[in-house]
Structure 1
């Protein structure tokens, strides 16, 4: 189950950058957030009720709502909003700083993580690998950045990355609900309901003509609901409960790898020697971050 959950988070979330960009071609950002998470939350609530889960327990709902606002409304919302202005490659690189924030913000694990040389080296190497992977795109991006707006968007991505790490750690240490389905339900509903007034106040709904939205944008939203939210996010929430947060955070290094590979196989993009080197370095960094767990498991067996 752990291996399957990691595979889902690594592969499915690596594809969401592309599908968010496709959704934005016909739909405004706050509307996407509200529609995606409200529908996903309602579907998950229906499933939880069918399974006989204890859904309406305020003691369990409160930490889930806080987590949902930090992770999905702020963390994911920033990604959706800034992809209007920044290339997805640039966003992916900045989001890949989140494993570093996981280590710095995880106070209960400071002694363990900061004294673990392989973890620290792996984090640094992984971030360098992501930069190397997108180095050619980054250079062209910096020459075309709109200094004011785009720099502000980049700052928001860093804040969103920190918020995502903080929300993930809050979920790990404060969740009172054993069911990942119930946790994910309230987290997504909280985020969706927070996006709704933003969409209204920003005037998105006044300019939105649903009849003119391309089919591709609707299909992208459906993918984000089913795979990005219901399947991917539930796997992530469950992993936070059963695995070290630093290990779970490696998704942020692998997701850009998946995004590049999808571009090669499905969008006809080519891969350079520099990108191949970046891919190898990133995979090596994930091995370094998990080296301590591998050794412990081997010693135990």
Structure 2
């Protein structure tokens, strides 16, 4: 993450009696929230929130890990090609340790995190999956604590709220409304995504975040493809049997979910206040639940509504505490 550069220190003025000389130095200008910022934020809100819906449609006729692997490999190669075209092939050159770190983070995020979500969405509604994943900031706080950091009382209160909401969200699985195995799979995915996010800030990653993302997507995608082959997802797979609806969702995930939304997010980190950018963490699940209900007719039961509200409240508390710190 980047922070705005401070204005240069004012040069001491020579003694003078004019009003201008007696004026206090100007404060550093704050980042402006322009129309472009709101447009990019809307992309992150809607597109990332809609990826759960897209995944649910993809797995209607595509195998989970093979479809996820294909998505990330294609997106990673496209991003690498765009980087090489815009900045030259040198932008892709990284040290071996940086490449290994990007591969590890990619496997945690995209094979463990996203891949398991794709698998789970074969039996779990997209809105419920999004709410279960929304607890990621709470797991990150737990990991930070394990490694000796002290995020603060507000963050720990947010974790407790998030875990309470998570308990309520598991009720549809315990009551038989959805498969409990799918619910637990999403919980494991959220832990692995948190581990990948936590590791990314502590490992020697490529300096260019777009380069790092390209390698992460290729590594995670190859991992998903390998798991899909080991699971035998290719047996009996006929591309002619894949519906146009699933192909459309797959293309949407590659282009919008993995390329456009990520680019918008990376640009926001350099342009907009971090406190504003961080709001995606609790807006995305709300968007996902709304789209799942409107487009797929997913039921918003009381455990989903109540548990989701508690989880989002916990994430809001964690984000606001981090912003103050």
Give the structure-1-normalised TM-score. Answer: 0.77
Equivalent-residue separation in structure 1 for 2:297 and 2:72 (angstroms): 31
Structure 2 CA distance, aligned partners of 1:87 and 1:269?
7
Higher relative contact order (CA 8 A, sep 6+): 1
Given that 2:137 and 2:315 are in contact with CA atoms closer than 8 Å, whether structure 1 keeps it comes out as no
Correspondent of 1:180 among 209, 221, 228: 209
**Correspondence 1:64 to 2:91:** no
Q: Which runs of 5+ in 1 are unaligned?
A: 297-301
Cα RMSD for the two superposed structures? 3.9
Pair 1:106-2:141 in alignment: no
Deviation at 1:177, TM superposition (A): 1.9
**Residue 227 (structure 1) aligned with residue 262 (structure 2):** no
Show the 5 A alignment for 1:47-126.
Answer: 47-51=82-86, 52=88, 53-57=90-94, 58-107=96-145, 110-113=148-151, 116-126=152-162
Q: 1:31 maps to which residue?
A: 66
Does the 8 Å CA contact 1:12/1:232 hold for their aligned counterparts? yes
The change in CA–CA distance for 1:100 and 1:284 in structure 2 (over 3 A counts) is: closer
The SS at the match of 2:235 is helix
Structure 2 unaligned regions, length at least 5: 4-36
> Cα offset for 1:273?
9.3
Alignment coverage as a number of residue pairs: 287
Pairing of 1:245-260 with structure 2 (within 5 A): 251-260=280-289
Tell me the equivalent position of 1:191. Answer: 220
Q: CA deviation at 1:39?
A: 0.7
Q: Relative to structure 1, is the Cα distance of residues 68 and 235 closer, same or farther in structure 2, using a 3 angstrom cutoff? A: farther
CA distance in 2, matches of 1:156, 1:277: 21
1:146-191 Cα shifts (integer Å, max 9, x gaps): 8xxx444433332221111111111122243221211111001111
Instruction: Please name the residue that 2:32 is paired with.
Output: none
Question: Which range is displaced more, 249-258 or 53-62?
Answer: 249-258
- Secondary structure of the 2:175 match is helix
Greater helix share, structure number: 1
- Provide the residue aligned with 2:25 in structure 1: none
Question: Would the aligned equivalents of 2:126 and 2:288 in 1 still touch at CA under 8 Å?
Answer: no
Rounded Cα–Cα distance in structure 2 between residues aligned with 1:158 and 1:185? 26
> Using the alignment, how far apart are the partners of 1:175 and 1:237 within structure 2?
19
The change in CA–CA distance for 1:292 and 1:86 in structure 2 (over 3 A counts) is closer
CA distance in 2, matches of 1:88, 1:42: 27
